[in-house]
């Protein structure tokens, strides 16, 4: 049996309140990430510093940050840190050169924060990212207008709340691998995102896979891994923008 | 206060096992219908005969018929009865001249029985009926191909299982009043029709209303009432067929 | 295949934070509407202005407005805007002449905001509107007292929380097409509106269709479309009031 | 502390496969009952015999009997046993003189077995019983026709499936204590009886209490206890039939 | 058909925001009650005044009052009104002489508000009331200690949260009719009262009926109706207190 | 890091259709068990033989056996195998001397199969076992009668369906560690065991832990482990029977 | 029948707002505990004082304390009371010498409060306690690193939120009795702890038992009872700390 | 706007009972597939033939075949068709050369049919496939034994029922993109696959995406698309077998 960690190294850093998994990057290619929900600003700062120290060559990412956590992170790391306020994310350290392209498609404006979390995560995890927003199925021509951008991607993340129909429609238009993310927007029977989740799990389009409700982070990690494997393809050019309306981040 | 039934008439026929509401046609324009599920073939035959007798000028309809019930109905009424085996429906007596047009759109072949129940019900309740089948959103061009037929209708019934995305897409293409019917096809989290139901209730297209799972009958009654009110419009001609691919029943 | 939008026009206005579907009125007869929930007051004002500009001949409607959004809309549009505070709605621009009649029946006083949203929406979408309030089934004579008003309508919207029995009773009294709207009033197993929703989906009265919980807007759009198709019928006269107790809005 | 059983008597009969509670009649006035579901015909016969022997002055009742159990009970007890096949119940021994009146109101024909179980149970537990069948709310005049019978009862059992609206309507018409029993009839979201259960628990009529789905037995025991306490009232005369259409069992 | 209301009287008072059912006392013996939740203090005051005026001989009751509503009621009615702050109830006008006895049994201290609502309601609706508190099944001797008080009642209301086992245990000790009320106390899977509700609906003790979660009002109305019918029994004497530990209200 | 398996031994036997975990007994003290559901009789026989061969000193157990599987096991192993038909279990090889005492308490006769599975499992896993059956809370004296047997055990398994109240009552009477097992008996809202499960998870008695619905096996393994740790206590003597009515297996 | 309480002693203390079960320690070995949720600080103080007085030789414990309750307890009892702020617990009076060892394993930092409640409860109930934190399955080597500590315990409490996989993995590594506690951490479909609860109830590792979501108290009581029965085993020495990384409390 | 289908070609074949989407391969790279559930054997044969004819260069696949459908397919296509009976799949026509590697990991033997469906689908859609079976988390060393095979894959499909913990553990060991598939194996709260589904959606391992319960087909399509994009990588050689224990299909 292969030993999961090198001998003589426990594979984690004991911070008292947490055992940071310092070996994760070695096993999976991606370092541990600070999930900010339920942690104090001080804990988040300490974990980011520990990650930064454990992996000098990799960016350290924190998600689900409160306003207080954002302020604490800015206080501690100053210009070194990048904050995306809509995404509630912050990162510091070297972001990898983009490999492959993740295209993030969002149905409505209220899906924006989840799409932004997915975009920040995918970019920090080493993929190029393009964005297509507000193309819900009630006005199909908006989606058809940017259809060529869909095929240009290595992997798609499709974010939608309400009835969550967008992944089925996109999945019928293209064979690019598609990760669907339901959001908790809506009300009544749609409150909490259950309708969108069930819709995506039961998509009649083949090959749609699904993340937890509002889990832009998980979709971003997964998509970046797919995109990096598909590189060095980059048909429309990183940093140049989509030929058909997609916005490159 | 207006008395709900004429004096001297109880407004129902007592069959021992049931109180048939003989006054319903007077109140609502449509006679009572025999819901076959959970009734014996003999009870169904007796109820159809009583309906036929109470309303000589109207067709008597029975739904949700088992094979045994279909056989009993055929034995009793012979050539007088019409049976739609896919719809599990039978009716006898004069079907009204069609007024207005109900267009029934189905996502897949397994939605056929529910669409057929809706079609038979709407026709027996006095509406003209057109059918568009197997136009699920995974192959959008099939729907766009018959798009003009959608606008030709006075009311649409859109039947879908799985993720139930079709009503949202149709509702974005046309302003014709749209009744969505979820079906119980599917498996896993889609088994029983819950995913399709929630999807339809949370449609991002405005003005989608919903029936119970597999309730083609309810959609048919409702749509016929809407279509009859919109008559004598008949833009493409009853009995001529759809100009764009819809099949007139 | 008929092209869904005229060539040379993308069919939407790009506002940065949203792609407003400027072609929806062309496809469906009704322009896009601003769903205020989850949007900033500034976004709502911008969207209303864009809608107003895209459709000079049609009213622009916003729903689910917070107090802040109402204030911002009044600041921006002044006397041009009409606000219904109970309904949380605001609209500006020419409201169409009423065609047909939507009658909105509410079970209790706590169903008032949803009924008001339905009424404002139906009126802005071009239908005449009548209201019957507080006629829950625990005191049936209140409903029977206004029974004739039910038959005078082209379409009914029946709003109820708690056990949601009112649509079944109304649906047994009249054949006018009936849209049921469950509300989230109640507590315990009734909290959130699930009991009322299930009750309405399983109504023993034929031809009851259902909207999402608290979705007065959706019911209003649907009902207006049905009523407009049934016009120029107007048996009791728009603007004259109901003959039997209904209140014309 | 009062000892729950007399000293020197364990208060139960040990049958090997069961400890029959022989003291229940002493504590509660009603003997234990054989719930047939999941028991073999031989066990049911043995339990009935043990009950008969423990309580010579009281009737022994078995519910939820399969065809096999009915046959075994008839084989064993011959003419001594009474079987109600619709109710799936059997009883032997002296049924008490009826005290008070339980009136059982059923919405539709498919609610018949549950209503019959309630009727048999209430009668065996010492109450007089009247029946009113097939008075669902979709044809309200059928219920209004027998309204006076409602007020003649000491307690009402109202049985309904589908949306379960009948108890709310009945509860608005009379102040007689009302026990609602949801049934598992229906399909889609109504399958299993959940919609009817929730509807009854959230009734807007005051003072409606509820039993488990299909639990005619529980409603019968409860109602008999209420009716017996209200005796010797018997306004319309036991054994004479209802003055207004109710059928005395 | 008997007319539900006397001719020439609509049977309701139109308050603008509500149609108060002034005929309910005539139909059911009990007047309408003001359900305070979701109403403004001013509406509650107006409704209480209208009830008081419509029924000079009966008490007017309001439930689910906020602190603001309690203050408004006290301002308006002064010494005439009685407020139970734990129960969140207020009433004014003549409370009937107590007939029969309702005994309210509560499992824990957090079930107190629901038990108090039931007690106030039953008393205002004309029954005598006794209370037994904090006798949960984890310390069975506390219940056995007051066991004789259970048999002295005409009807029991058993209030419990958490797993809701108390009604099953009480129902095994006595044959007095038993109404179970689940409360929303608890956490995790018990949050909201679902566990207690299901437990009570599935009680192995015969003859347990159930109200909605936290519905002390409904239980109180129902129990008062049962107790009044059982009067003039009063075995332990109204106003004297329980012989065995129950507290008479 | 301690290596989970000895070097040079993969720790499993590859049977083609399964990788039998031959090292489990070394890690946990208990060998793997054959869960018969969904396996063919031939697979079950092969797995039992492999277990028997891998652990000559331990008994091999199979659970959830169909009639066909029981027959196949008897054919293959003849007199060597012991079958408990009620429990649907079979075992072969040396059963350990009993250490400690597991007392299994069941509420009703329909809980028998689950109690039997727990008993067989606990005995095969090396604990002594006592049984107390049919002591549901509706006749509390039956339980109080055998109360001393509860305290004599090292660990209790309490099995109940319906409302699942028995563990709360037992847990209030004794401090012996108590494992509750809900069963799927019941109907309506109790069908499937959800009511019993929730009841047990929310028990007001301290220190009740819970297994999956119908999981007598899991309760038996857990209880045997607790009992073996508590040995060599054996206050009432293994093989002698309970002093107060419990039946020693 | 053995009487559950000594004659002449009611077995409870009547505090007006509560009947404190003073006999519980006699029946179960553990005194009643103050569940602080939903109680006023004054009630909590009074109950702690009454417990302290009833059981001079045992510690009195209160759980689920608000900040206000913690302050009130400190005001009243001063240095006599011990407060664990993370666990929201307070206790006063003599804590027993530790017997046996409970090892508490937590998956992540957000599971800390529940693990702390379990630890405080187990210690106050007389067991020795060790802690292993932040060993979630996404970095398995952290768990394998402390694996020997698992086998050193008499009983394990495994606390996890999210998908709740940790008990299955731990249960595959050791045969020590294992109590799983799901926590309500997480979001989307994991919000509230349902995913973790279901995961634990369906563990493929044999012998995992489960507590309610966030119920560290219940797990602590149960585990202490198991550990005390297993004493005087103490393989690694109370107060010395774990040999392999576990932290002794 | 790019037209979704070439002009002059409707993009579908009308078979009467279905509109076969003949353009899907052009849009997505993969042809339509016959979902056999709910279709007659004759319909399945006709659809396979139509697919075969529309795409001479691609394999035609049918899934979810009954025994009757398998027989009909064999009758019609003889040696041309390949049937996988465990997977309930059949295909005919040229299967592409494998590009990239999909590794399918299954927790238990009862997950076999879903894993087989995923394998057949991935292979027919052009990916190489390796299999690792029966490596559930209760015996972790079985998984660690084949750990190197995980890293050799381009994408993983992890299939598990019960508590569904396997994807979390695998996701912590490797950074290969991981698709989790819950299966409906299990009982009680695990019946139907809900526990496994929720577990996978809430995985604490980053980057796990999920398919519907039992949806091996969907996982296979998705994984093949990812693997094909990662080709021509083939580190261990297609057709040679896994270096560490994985079985190449």
Per-residue model confidence as pLDDT tens digits over B215-225 = 999 999 999 99
pLDDT value at C200 more than 70: yes
| A–B interface: beta-carbon pairs under 8 A | 115
The pLDDT score that the predictor gives to residue G235 is: 44
Pick among G3, G28, G170, G176 to test the F interface (most F CBs inside 10 A) = G28
Instruction: Report whether E65 contacts E73 (CB < 8 A).
Output: yes
Separation CA H17–CA H37 (nearest Å): 15
Q: How many other CB atoms sit within 10 Å of the CB of residue H42?
A: 12
Q: Please state, in angstroms and rounded to a whole number, the distance separating the CA atoms of residues B171 and B177.
A: 9
Residues of chain E contacting C140 with CB distance shorter than 8 Å: 4
Q: Provide the 10 A C-beta neighbour count for residue D8.
A: 5
Query: What size, in residues, is chain E?
Result: 249
Contact A217, G190 (CB under 8 A): no
Q: How far is CA D9 from CA D6, D157, D177, H65, in A?
A: 6, 37, 38, 63
Q: Show residues of chain G in contact with E149, CB under 8 Å.
A: none
CA distance A189 to chain C (A): 7
Beta-carbon contacts of E86 under 8 Å, excluding residues fewer than 6 positions away, are E112, E113, E116
- A210 in contact with chain B, both atoms CB, cutoff 8 A: no
Using a threshold of 3 CB pairs under 8 A, tell whether chains C and F touch.
no
When scoring E18, E19, E211 by the number of chain C Cβ atoms within 10 A, the one with the most, hence best to mutate, is E19
pLDDT average, residue stretch C4-9 = 58
Selected for mutation to probe chain F from G35, G181, G203, G229 (highest F CB count within 10 Å) is: G229
Coil vs helix vs strand at H12? coil
Are F110 and D38 an interchain contact pair (Cβ–Cβ within 8 Å)? yes
pLDDT in tens, D44-93: 999 999 999 999 999 999 999 999 999 999 999 999 999 999 999 999 99
Q: A1 in contact with F at a CB cutoff of 8 Å?
A: yes
CA angle B3, B4, B10 (to 5 degrees): 100
What residue of G is the nearest CA neighbor of D4?
G1
Q: Is H191 in the G-facing interface, judged by CB distances under 8 Å?
A: no
Share of chain B above pLDDT 90, in %: 82
Closest chain D residue by Cα to residue C191: D202
User: Cα separation of H35 and H217, whole Å?
Assistant: 10
Question: Quick one: pLDDT at residue A236?
Answer: 45
* 8 A C-beta contact, residue A225 and residue H171: no
d(CA E96, CA B108): 65
Which residue on chain G is closest to A33 by alpha carbon?
G138
pLDDT value at residue F10: 84
Which chains neighbour B (Cβ–Cβ under 8 Å, 3 or more pairs)? A, C, D, E, H
Closest CA to F124 of F102, F154, F108, F147: F102
C4 to chain H: which residues are within 8 Å by CB? 1
Output the furthest CA–CA distance in chain H (Å, rounded). Answer: 60
Whole-angstrom Cα distance, residue G91 to residue G77? 10
Interatomic CA distance for residues G50 and G18, integer angstroms? 11
In angstroms, rounded to a whole number, what is the distance separating the alpha carbons of residues E181 and E158? 6
Strand-pair category, F60-63 with A60-63:
unpaired
Residue C122 has pLDDT above 60, yes or no: yes
Strands (E), chain F: 13-14, 19-20, 34-35, 60-63, 81-84, 89-92, 101-106, 128-132, 155-160, 178-182, 208-210, 247-248
Q: Using CB atoms, which chains have 3+ pairs under 8 A with E?
A: B, C, D, F, G
Which of C197, C206, C226, C234 to mutate to test binding with chain B, by most B CBs within 10 Å of its CB? C206
Report the largest interatomic distance among the alpha carbons of chain C, rounded to a whole angstrom: 60
In this structure, what is the dihedral angle of CA atoms D200, F189, F195, D205, given to the nearest 10 degrees?
0
Q: How far apart are alpha carbons C233 and A25 in whole angstroms? A: 72
Query: Can you give the three-state secondary structure of G236-249, one letter per residue?
Result: CCCCCCCCCCCEEC
Gap from G219 CA to chain F (nearest CA, Å): 6
pLDDT of residue H231: 78
Residue F126: CB atoms within 10 Å: 21
pLDDT attached to residue H232: 56
In sequence order, the 6+-apart residues with CB closer than 8 A to the CB of E16 are: none
Name the minimum distance, in Å, from the CA of D43 to any CA of chain F. Answer: 10
CA atoms of H173 and H223, how far apart (whole Å) = 19
B vs H, Cβ pairs < 8 A, gives 61
D62 touches chain F (CB under 8 A): no
F1 and A CB contact within 8 Å: yes
Task: Identify which of E142, E144, E188 has the shortest CB distance to residue G214.
Answer: E188
How does F79-109 read in b/e, with b if 16+ C-beta sit within 10 Å? eebbbbeebbbbbbbebeebbbbbbbbbbbb
**H or E element that contains A131:** strand A128-132
CB contact under 8 A, C5 and H1: yes
- What's the rounded Cα separation, in Å, for the pair E221 and H78? 74
Question: Cis omega before residue F232 (within 30°)?
Answer: yes
Q: In a mutagenesis test of the F interface, which of D15, D19, D200 is the best target, namely the one with the most F β-carbons within 10 Å? A: D19
For residues C145, C146, C150, C156, the Cα torsion angle rounded to the nearest 10 degrees is -110
In three-state secondary structure terms, D38 is coil
d(CA G204, CA H218): 25
Q: Is the pLDDT of residue F234 over 60?
A: no
Under 8 Å between Cβ of B210 and C211: yes
Return d(Cα G178, Cα B195) in angstroms, integer. 37
Residue written as token pair 């016929």: B224
Rg of chain H, C-alpha, whole Å? 19
The secondary structure element, H or E, covering residue D37 is none
Residues F90-117 pLDDT 10s: 999 999 999 999 999 999 989 999 999 9
Three-state DSSP state, B39:
coil
Among candidates F144, F185, F188 on the partner chain, residue whose Cβ is nearest the Cβ of D215: F188
Q: For G184-194, give one letter per residue: b (16+ CB within 10 A) or e.
A: bbbbbbbbbbb
User: Contacts by A18-21 with C-beta closer than 8 Å and gap 24+?
Assistant: A18/A43, A18/A47, A18/G109, A18/G133, A18/G134, A19/G133, A19/G134, A19/G135, A19/G139, A19/G142, A20/A47, A20/A50, A20/A51, A20/A54, A21/G138, A21/G139, A21/G142
pLDDT tens digits along F202-219: 999 998 999 999 999 999
Closest residue in chain G to residue D5, using alpha carbons only: G1
CB B34 within 8 A of CB B61: yes
Among F163, F169, F190, select the one facing E140 at the smallest CB separation: F169
SS3 content of chain C, % helix, strand, coil (to 5): 40, 20, 40
Closest chain A C-alpha to B162 CA, distance in angstroms: 5
Bridge partners, residue B128, by sequence: B101
Phi, psi at F169, each rounded to 5°: -70, -45
- Mean pLDDT for E33-61 is 95
Q: What is the pTM of this model?
A: 0.94
Subunits adjacent to chain D (3 or more Cβ pairs under 8 Å): B, C, E, F, G
For D97-124, letters b (16+ CB in 10 Å) and e give: ebbbbbbbbbbbbbbbbbbbbbbbbbbb
Enter the tokens of residue H170: 């695998």
The two tokens of residue G131 are 């802690």
Query: How high is the pLDDT of residue B92?
Result: 96
Distance from C-alpha of G96 to C-alpha of G93, rounded to nearest angstrom = 10
What is the helix (H) or strand (E) element at residue H20, kind and residue range? Answer: strand H19-20
Chain A: nearest CA to G43, how far in angstroms?
30
User: Residue C99's closest CA among C12, C189, C225, C191?
Assistant: C225
Q: Pick the range with the lowest mean pLDDT from C210-214, F5-9, F139-143, H149-153.
A: F5-9
Out of B19, B184, B213, the one facing D135 most closely (by C-beta) is B19
**Contact F235/G at CB under 8 A:** no
Angle of CA points G120, G123, G127, to nearest 5°: 150
Contact: G28, F174; criterion CB under 8 Å: yes
Average pLDDT, chain A: 91
D178 touching C (Cβ < 8 Å): no
The two tokens of residue A143 are 């989606």
Confidence of residue H7 (pLDDT cuts 50, 70, 90): low
CB C76 within 8 A of CB C65: no
* G1 contacts chain D (CB < 8 A): yes
F96 within 8 A of F126, measured Cβ to Cβ = yes
Asked if the model's pLDDT at residue C45 lies above 80, the reply is: yes
Which chain D residue's Cα is nearest to B216?
D188
* CA–CA dist D148, D243 (Å, integer): 8
- CA A173 vs CA A169, C225, H4, H28: distances in Å: 7, 31, 8, 7
Q: Decide: F223 and F155 in contact? Cβ < 8 Å.
A: yes
- The mean per-residue pLDDT over the stretch H13-25 comes to 90
Please list every residue in chain C whose beta carbon sits closer than 8 Å to the beta carbon of residue D173: 140
Terminus-to-terminus CA distance in chain F, angstroms? 43
pLDDT in tens, A112-150: 999 999 999 999 999 999 999 999 999 999 999 999 999
Record the tokens describing residue F31, joined without a space.
């060998």
Neighboring chain C residues of H1 at a CB cutoff of 8 Å: 3-5
Best of F206, F222, F226, F233 to disrupt the G interface by mutation (most G CBs within 10 Å)? F206
CA distance E4 to chain B (A): 9
Which residues of chain B from 115 to 174 reach within 8 Å of chain C, CB to CB?
A: 141, 144-145, 147-148, 154-155, 172-174
Scanning chain B, the segments in alpha helix (DSSP H) are 24-28, 41-54, 67-77, 112-124, 140-145, 147-152, 166-173, 194-201, 216-230
By C-alpha distance, the chain C residue nearest E26 is: C139
Q: How far is CA F166 from CA D4, E99, E105, F173, H188, in A?
A: 18, 36, 20, 11, 19
Find the closest chain G residue to A21 by CA distance.
G139
Residue H236 has pLDDT above 60, yes or no: no
Q: Which of B192, B143, B191 is nearest to B171 (CA)?
A: B143
At D5-41, the pLDDT tens digits run 455 678 899 898 889 999 999 999 999 999 999 899 9
């Amino acid at each position: 049996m292969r030993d999961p960690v090198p001998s003589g190294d426990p594979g984690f850093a004991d911070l008292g309140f947490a055992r940071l998994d310092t070996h994760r990057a070695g096993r999976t290619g991606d370092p541990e990430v600070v999930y900010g929900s339920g942690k104090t600003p001080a804990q988040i700062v300490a974990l980011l510093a520990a990650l930064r120290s454990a992996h000098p060559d990799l960016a350290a990412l924190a998600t689900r940050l409160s306003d207080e956590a954002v302020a604490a992170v800015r206080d501690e790391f100053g210009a070194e840190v990048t904050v995306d306020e809509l995404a509630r994310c912050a990162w510091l350290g070297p972001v990898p050169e983009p490999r492959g392209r993740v295209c993030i498609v969002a149905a409505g404006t209220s899906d924006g924060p989840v799409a932004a979390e997915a975009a920040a995560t995918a970019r920090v995890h080493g993929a190029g990212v393009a964005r297509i927003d507000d193309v819900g199925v009630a006005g199909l021509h908006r989606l058809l207008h940017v259809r060529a951008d869909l095929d240009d991607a290595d992997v798609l993340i499709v974010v939608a709340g309400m009835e969550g129909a967008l992944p089925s429609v996109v999945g019928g238009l293209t064979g690019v691998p598609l990760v669907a993310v339901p959001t908790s927007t809506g009300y009544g029977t749609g409150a909490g995102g259950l309708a969108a989740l069930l819709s995506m799990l039961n998509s009649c389009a083949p090959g749609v896979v699904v993340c937890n409700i509002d889990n832009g982070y998980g979709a971003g990690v997964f998509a970046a891994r797919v995109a990096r494997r598909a590189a060095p393809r980059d048909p429309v050019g990183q940093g140049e923008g989509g030929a058909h309306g997609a916005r490159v981040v």
